[in-house]
């Protein structure tokens, strides 16, 4: 799991820090622009920043889209996992009652481990522990199914259960891999520095003109910070405003199969 500094820091803290740093960069740029203007008051000076701002917003849109796509993929995997587990539970009914009871007991434990897998939140140790426990139970289910497959009487049940268990094992790997896949920190760091550099040049350009509209500057810094805030939030579904609570209700709902 990702344990980088950016990931462990709350998204709102990062966005707030960026907002403050952009304002400071704008102020430093204004001071530098004023100094140059006063040093050569008769020389007309202009600095074009629109191309830099366009580049920044293009990169912000690209990064936001990347986070959004990965969030949608994670949400889909959770729903797919719920459907796969539900299918495997139903297929245990194909076995005799004694065998069915053993399968259902293990499936009940498995569902609880998958529920706890999400409920542990951003706790890395808890995530890995729940994932390891679910692998132990799925291995137990697989071993029982393969053992029963040697009995011709269980041929029909085996043909249904083995593919379901195979999908069940695969989807847990896909879900864990999906959570590990995040926007690279190098891209986020580049965005932070680019935002501060553009804020500096924006303040510098206004300083050369001898005036600065702080309302516009604050609005620009706030807009950039908010986009990065939601970009980070989409990329970390275990914490923040945008999470996977709703799709995970589909897995919690599997408990009704054992009532």
- Give residue 4's pLDDT: 66
H helix and E strand count, the chain? 9, 0
Q: Which of 57, 76, 75 is nearest to 65 (CA)?
A: 57
- Give residue 144's pLDDT: 94
- Give residue 96's pLDDT: 92
Distance CA 158, CA 149 (A): 6
- Give residue 105's pLDDT: 94
- Give residue 42's pLDDT: 58
- Give residue 186's pLDDT: 86
Show the low-confidence residues of the chain (pLDDT under 50). Answer: none
Contacts of 23 (CB under 8 A, 6+ apart): 199, 217, 218, 221
Distance CA 26, CA 212 (A): 10
What digits encode the pLDDT tens for the residues 35-76? Answer: 877 777 655 555 667 788 888 899 999 999 999 898 999 999
- Whether the CA torsion 106, 109, 114, 115 is positive or negative: it is positive
Give this prediction's pTM. 0.82
């Amino acid at each position: 799991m990702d344990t980088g500094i950016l990931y462990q820091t709350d998204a709102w803290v990062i966005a707030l820090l960026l907002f403050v740093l952009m304002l400071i960069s704008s102020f430093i740029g204004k001071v530098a622009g004023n100094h140059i203007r006063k040093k050569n008051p008769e020389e007309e000076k202009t600095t074009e920043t629109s191309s830099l701002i366009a580049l920044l917003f293009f990169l912000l849109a690209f990064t936001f889209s990347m986070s959004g796509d990965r969030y949608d993929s994670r949400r889909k995997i959770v729903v797919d996992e719920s459907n796969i587990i539900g299918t495997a539970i139903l297929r245990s009914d194909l076995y005799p009652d004694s065998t069915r009871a053993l399968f259902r007991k293990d499936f009940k434990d498995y569902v609880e481990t998958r529920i706890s897998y999400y409920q542990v939140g951003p706790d890395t140790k808890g995530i890995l522990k729940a994932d390891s426990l679910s692998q132990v139970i799925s291995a137990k289910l697989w071993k029982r199914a393969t053992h029963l497959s040697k009995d011709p009487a269980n041929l029909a049940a085996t043909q249904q259960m083995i593919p379901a268990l195979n999908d069940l094992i695969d989807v847990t790997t896909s879900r864990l891999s999906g959570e590990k896949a995040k926007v690279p920190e190098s891209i986020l760091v580049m965005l932070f520095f680019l935002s501060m550099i553009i804020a500096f040049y924006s303040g510098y350009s206004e300083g050369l003109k001898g005036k600065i509209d702080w309302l516009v500057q604050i609005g620009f810094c706030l807009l950039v910070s908010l986009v990065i805030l939601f970009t980070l939030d989409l990329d970390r579904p275990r914490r923040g405003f945008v999470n996977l609570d709703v799709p995970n209700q589909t897995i919690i709902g599997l408990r009704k199969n054992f009532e």
